[in-house]
Structure 1
Amino acid sequence: MALTGVLRPGHVAIRVLEMGPALKHYTEVLGLIEVARDDQGRVFLKAWDEHDHHSVVLREADEAGMDYMGWLVDSHGSLEALAAAVKESGLCTNLEWIPAGEHPATGVRFRFVIPTGHVMELYAKKEKVGNDCGEDGPDINPRPWPDGLRGMAPSRFDHCLLYGDDLDGTVELFTKVLGFGVAEQVMAGPDKSLMIGAFLSCSNKAHDVAFIRQPVKGKFHHASFHLGSWEQVLRAGDIISRTRTSIDIGPTRHGITRGETIYFFDPSGNRNEVFCGGYVYYPDKPTITWWEQELGAGIFYHDRKLNEAFLSVFT
């Protein structure tokens, strides 16, 4: 499949209540790598197998949650075309261009607020810094992983799950304007016609972002990071226990997306996930549908029961 337009999630900006404990969590427990700080006090991090300059931005604030999520597009021409399409759709508010360099090593970004109240941005350029695996350069004769990894050591930032009210408008934006497919959906109501969950993909992953219908605006459920195997997910559980990190649920398996997973919290109460597995998604794959009454198995396939805290706790 030739990927064009929106290619993948590029970064997530997370608000934390206190930078010191948060940074210790994200570097020593989760195992991201600090790459830069700026004069606003933000800290920029990346996972070990990401070649881009950064994928996670931490900002100290009075309230935890997500500031915005950024998406890499394939070219500046696509960036301009998608920005125009977003504007023309009438679905978004607070449209603005963020100048190049506002994020270090990053080009101009187009920012907008989607119908669920989340801030999204598109960009076409971010400096490639490599993954420290090459023996004779960033991409020459590489080793399978670099030395010095810490914590859970995920290979990449993978996706976010977000809560908001206008799910219909947001799904319309992502599918009809930004070119995503609906890999899976959760349907409710007497005739099963009300979409309450959408798992959206711009690539061949089971999802690049997911939204759950809730009577709130702009809420953050979790940021997810990819591990290579079920054994690494189990090891993440050991690290959570050893470091006395607050655990949410797992290790277990999802019915939706088929991934193996564990959830836990950073010191500010933001939920993190590390996971592995899932299936390959192509645009011609039929959308998988779950009925609301089977959502327990959809979220936690092993015990087939909903965890109330998993549904009601968000930032």
Structure 2
Amino acid sequence: MAMTGVLRPGHAQLRVLDLEKSITFYRDILGLVETGRDDRGRVYFKCWDERDHSSLILSPSDSAGIDFIGFKVLDAATLDQLERDVRAFGIATERVPAGDLLETGERVRFRLPSGHLFELYAEKTKVGNGLPSVNPPPWSMDADRGMAPIRFDHCLLYGPNVQANKDLFLKVLGFHLVERILGPTEAGEPEIGIFLSCSHKTHDIAFVEYEEPGKLHHLSFRMPTWERVLRAGDIMGMNRVPIDIGPTRHGVTRGETIYAWDPSGNRFETFAGGYEPYPDGDPITWTFEGFPHGLDYPQGKLHESFMTVVT
């Protein structure tokens, strides 16, 4: 599939309560690579197999949650065109100057109908993955520190106006709908959850209907195999990382997963598996009654914390 327009999830800025404790967690336990610090107190990380400078930015705060999520686009011309398209859709945009984030070019920022700050950018300094570009070995020494995810994979965001988000992502940003969750029929909500892709992953971003705007459910980090998800679970146990759900398999996306909490109470996921949809496929539908197996396929259980706790 030709990759044009919006390419992939690029970065997320996460609010943390204790910066030093969070640095230790994300660097030494999760196993990310620290790539920089700025004069606003923010600390930058990437997964070992990512080539761009950073995919996670930690920002010290008195409240947990997400500040913004950014997606990379093909080039500067694409960025300009998408900004025009977003404005034509009726959403105001602003330009964030190059250098506001370390090693990152100009960004186009706007607020989604769900209340989340979302941004697009075309340029970020390439720092590589620690391997040569000619005759490389299959993994870096960084791949064995902590859980060692290979990339920032996706996020699930909670907020109102999921249908308006869907229109924006499908009609303007070029995503396609891969899976959806229907609400109870008496509530009159045709879709309370949507899983959207700009690639041929099961989802690059997902939204669930929620009364409070701008909430984070989780950031997900891709593991190469189910075995590495299980190894991540061992590392969580060794370091007394509180686990929300798992290890288990989703029915939705067929992903293999563990959900757990960082030191600030932000939920993160170690994720593997799934299938490879293409834009011409029909979306999979989960009914409200069937969703317990969509969440936790072996148990068919709606875990209360998963459904109610967000930051």
Decide: shared fold, TM above 0.5.
Answer: yes
Q: Which residue is equivalent to 1:299?
A: 295
RMSD of aligned alpha carbons? 1.0
Aligned equivalent of 2:156, options 144, 157, 161? 161
Asked if 1:194 corresponds to 2:190, the answer is yes
Q: Deviations over 1:259-304 (max 9, x none)?
A: 1000110000000100100000100111000001111100111100
* Mapping 1:196-211, distance limit 5 Å: 196-211=192-207
Inter-partner Cα distance in structure 2 for 1:190 and 1:230: 36
Asked if 1:284 corresponds to 2:280, the answer is yes
Aligned equivalent of 2:166, options 171, 176, 187? 171
Q: Deviations over 1:64-99 (max 9, x none)?
A: 000000000001001000011111101x34x21000
Inter-partner Cα distance in structure 1 for 2:124 and 2:185: 47
- Give, in angstroms, the shift of residue 39 of structure 1: 0.2
Q: Secondary structure at the match of 2:54?
A: coil
Aligned equivalent of 2:138, options 141, 144, 154? 144
Q: Secondary structure at the match of 1:194?
A: coil
- Give, in angstroms, the shift of residue 189 of structure 1: 3.3
Structure 2 residue identity aligned to 1:166: N
* Mapping 1:179-258, distance limit 5 Å: 179-190=174-185, 194-258=190-254
Inter-partner Cα distance in structure 1 for 2:210 and 2:190: 13
Structure 1 residue identity aligned to 2:246: G
- Give, in angstroms, the shift of residue 117 of structure 1: 0.2
Structure 2 residue identity aligned to 1:80: D
Q: Which residue is equivalent to 2:37?
A: 37
Q: Deviations over 1:135-159 (max 9, x none)?
A: xxxx121111111431100000000
Q: Which residue is equivalent to 2:61?
A: 61
Number of aligned positions between the proteins = 309
- Give, in angstroms, the shift of residue 251 of structure 1: 0.3
- Give, in angstroms, the shift of residue 202 of structure 1: 0.2
Inter-partner Cα distance in structure 2 for 1:167 and 1:28: 36
Inter-partner Cα distance in structure 2 for 1:177 and 1:190: 29
Q: Deviations over 1:221-248 (max 9, x none)?
A: 0000000111111111111110011111
Asked if 1:118 corresponds to 2:116, the answer is yes
Structure 1 residue identity aligned to 2:79: L
Q: How many percent identity over aligned positions?
A: 51
Inter-partner Cα distance in structure 2 for 1:312 and 1:140: 48
Inter-partner Cα distance in structure 2 for 1:253 and 1:260: 4
Q: Secondary structure at the match of 2:36?
A: strand
**Mean alpha-carbon deviation: is it higher for 141-150 or for 33-42?**
141-150
**Mean alpha-carbon deviation: is it higher for 33-42 or for 191-200?**
191-200
Asked if 1:75 corresponds to 2:75, the answer is yes
- Give, in angstroms, the shift of residue 106 of structure 1: 1.0
Q: Deviations over 1:160-197 (max 9, x none)?
A: 00000110111111110101000000112328861100
Inter-partner Cα distance in structure 1 for 2:198 and 2:3: 8
Q: Secondary structure at the match of 2:66?
A: strand
Q: Which residue is equivalent to 1:132?
A: 130
Inter-partner Cα distance in structure 1 for 2:67 and 2:15: 7
Inter-partner Cα distance in structure 1 for 2:63 and 2:102: 24
Aligned equivalent of 1:99, options 85, 97, 100? 97
Inter-partner Cα distance in structure 1 for 2:169 and 2:223: 26
Structure 2 residue identity aligned to 1:98: V
Q: Which residue is equivalent to 2:257?
A: 261
* Mapping 1:41-52, distance limit 5 Å: 41-52=41-52
Structure 2 residue identity aligned to 1:105: E
Structure 2 residue identity aligned to 1:117: G
Q: Which residue is equivalent to 1:8?
A: 8
**Mean alpha-carbon deviation: is it higher for 189-198 or for 169-178?**
189-198
Inter-partner Cα distance in structure 2 for 1:189 and 1:37: 46
